[in-house]
A = this chain, B = another copy of it.
Amino acid sequence: LQQADVQLSSKVDASGKTKAIVFSTTATLDVLEVERLCEAVGWPERPREKIKRALENSFMVATLYEVDIDPDTGNRGDTSKGRLIGCARATSDHVFNATLWDIIVDPAYQGVGLGKALVTSMIRSLLARDVANVTLFADQDVIPFYRALGFIIDPEGIKGMFLYPS
């Protein structure tokens, strides 16, 4: 099930170029770009090969790209030529549950609603692929963000639990 990219916004930047921000679940991710994002948000470094494998084995990898708009034709540049400014991924059984992981927006692009756009677009894509519900594990400081998107903490007393092998 191929889904079309969705243009979220466009603007003219300081140099007079028109740029658009595009949501995609089908873009071919460059793992170096993902590493750059992880570093930008201050996450601990993880082996490149592992990031690559985790992306390959995720049910969905959602991305935000900033791309150029051609001033003459108005055509939008391909995500492969754009700049990755956000990503997130989901593991899933393709039916009952999808779980979101590693939701990142480039700090230089934060504060304008792109995190919200990334997650809501991703939820829409997951539901379009017939996943029944969406879960995640939220750090304390982002709980209000996810709550505002409709996520519920500990519904009916259900608790998220972690095992960290020693």
Contact = CB atoms under 8 A, between A and B. Distances in A.
A72 interface: no
B159 A138 contact: yes
Contacts of A42: none
11 contacts: A50-B95, A53-B95, A55-B93, A91-B93, A97-B101, A134-B162, A140-B158, A147-B161, A150-B163, A152-B161, A155-B162
Contacts of A123: 163, 165
A149 interface: yes
A126 to B, nearest CB: 9
A139 interface: yes
Contacts of A54: 93-96
B140 A161 contact: no
A74 interface: no
A157 interface: yes
Contacts of A164: 133, 152, 155
A136 interface: yes
Given A93-B101, A149-B163, A158 B133 contact: no
A99 interface: yes
